[in-house]
Chain A
Amino acid sequence: MAGHTPTKLTVNGEEYEVRIGLRDTLADTLREKLGLTGTKTICNEGECGSCTVLIDGKPVLSCLTLAIECEGKDILTIEGLAEPVTGELHPIQKAFLERSGMQCGMCTPGMILTAKALLDDNPSPNEDEVREALAGNICRCGNYKRITECVLAAASMIQGGA
Chain B
Amino acid sequence: MPEEFSIIGKRLPRKDGLEKVKGEARYTSDIQLPRMLHTRFLRSPHAHARIVRIDASQAEKLPGVMAVLTYKNTPKVHPRGYGKTEKFEYLLDETVHFAGEEVAAVAALSKEIAEEALKLIDVEYKVLPAVFDKEEAMKPDAPLVHPELGSNLYECPRCENGMLPVEHGDVEKGFAEADHIIEGTYESPWQHPVSPEPRAVVCQWTGDRLTCWASTQVPQRVGENLAYCLGITLSNIRVISTYSVGCYGAKRPGKTVVLAALLAKRTGRPVRAVFTRAEDFIATHIRNDAKVYARVGVKRDGSITALYSRMISNYGRDSYTGYLGPAYGAIDTCSALYRCPNTRYEGYFVITNTEDHGAMNGFGDPQAGFCIERLMDEAAETLGMDPVEFRLKNCARYGDKGMSLYPAVYGPVEWGVMGPDIDGFQECIRKVAEQARWKEKWQGWKTPLEVKGAKRRGIGAAIGMHTCMAQPLDSATVKMNQDGTADVFSSDPEIGQGLITAMAQVVAEALGIGYEDINVILADTRVTPYGAGVFGSRGTLAGIGAAYRAAQDARKKLCDIAAGMLGVGPEALEVKERRIYIRGNPEHGITVAEACLAGYQVVGNAVLPYPWIDEPTGKKIVPVSVAATIAEVEVDTETGEMNVLKMTSAHDCGRAINPQIVENQIDMSLTMANGWVRAESFIIDKHTGVVLNPNLLDYKVMTFLDMPKMADMQEIFVEYPNPWGPFGAKGMSETAMTSPAPALANAVYNAIGVRIRGDHLTPEGILEALGKLTRR
Q: Contact residues of A with B, CB < 8 Å? A: 31-32, 35-45, 47-48, 50, 77-79, 81-82, 89, 93, 96-109, 112, 127-128, 130-132, 134-138, 140-149
Give 19 pairs: A residue, B residue, CB < 8 Å, sorted on A. Answer: A37-B23, A38-B22, A45-B277, A97-B14, A100-B17, A103-B498, A105-B16, A105-B20, A105-B245, A112-B21, A130-B704, A135-B704, A141-B664, A144-B667, A144-B704, A145-B667, A145-B710, A148-B704, A148-B709
Judging by beta carbons under 8 Å apart, are B246 and A106 in contact?
yes
- CA–CA, A146 to B704, complex, Å? 11
Candidates A31, A79, A144; contact of B22 at CB < 8 Å: A79
Judging by beta carbons under 8 Å apart, are B707 and A144 in contact?
yes
Judging by beta carbons under 8 Å apart, are A142 and B25 in contact?
no
B705–chain A nearest beta-carbon distance, Å = 5
Candidates B195, B495, B660, B710; contact of A127 at CB < 8 Å: B710
Given A47-B277, A131-B705, 13 other A-B residues pairs in contact with their CB atoms under 8 A = A93-B22, A97-B21, A99-B11, A100-B658, A100-B661, A135-B703, A140-B195, A140-B672, A141-B664, A142-B667, A144-B703, A147-B704, A149-B710
Judging by beta carbons under 8 Å apart, are A140 and B21 in contact?
no
Judging by beta carbons under 8 Å apart, are A105 and B243 in contact?
yes
Chain A residues, Cβ within 8 Å of B22: 38, 78-79, 81-82, 89, 93
A24–chain B nearest beta-carbon distance, Å = 10
B270–chain A nearest beta-carbon distance, Å = 14
**Chain B, range 195-251, C-beta contacts under 8 Å to A:** 195-197, 243-246, 248
Chain A residues, Cβ within 8 Å of B710: 127, 145, 148-149
A153–chain B nearest beta-carbon distance, Å = 12
B580–chain A nearest beta-carbon distance, Å = 32
Task: Count how many chain B residues have C-beta atoms less than 8 Å from C-beta atoms of the other chain.
Answer: 57
Candidates A106, A127, A135, A136; contact of B197 at CB < 8 Å: A106
- CA–CA, A128 to B496, complex, Å? 27
Cβ contacts B686-717/A at 8 Å (1 or 0 each): 00000000011100011111010110010000
Chain B residues, Cβ within 8 Å of A106: 27, 196-197, 245-246
For the residues of B in contact with A, the DSSP-based class is loop
The verdict on A79 contacting B13 (CB below 8 Å), with A105-B243, A131-B705 known, is: no
Chain A residues, Cβ within 8 Å of B276: 44
Candidates B24, B245, B707; contact of A104 at CB < 8 Å: B245
Judging by beta carbons under 8 Å apart, are B704 and A42 in contact?
no
Pairs A-B, 3 closest by C-beta atoms: A38-B23, A142-B671, A104-B496
Judging by beta carbons under 8 Å apart, are A138 and B701 in contact?
yes
The residue of chain A having its C-beta at the shortest distance from the C-beta of B193 within the complex is A140
**Residue B167 lies at the interface, judged by CB distance under 8 Å to chain A:** no
The verdict on A131 contacting B30 (CB below 8 Å), with A104-B495, A108-B20 known, is: no
The residue of chain B having its C-beta at the shortest distance from the C-beta of A48 within the complex is B696
The residue of chain B having its C-beta at the shortest distance from the C-beta of A77 within the complex is B23
- CA–CA, A126 to B246, complex, Å? 29
- CA–CA, A45 to B668, complex, Å? 24
Candidates A81, A127, A146; contact of B664 at CB < 8 Å: A146
Judging by beta carbons under 8 Å apart, are A102 and B196 in contact?
no
Judging by beta carbons under 8 Å apart, are B30 and A31 in contact?
yes
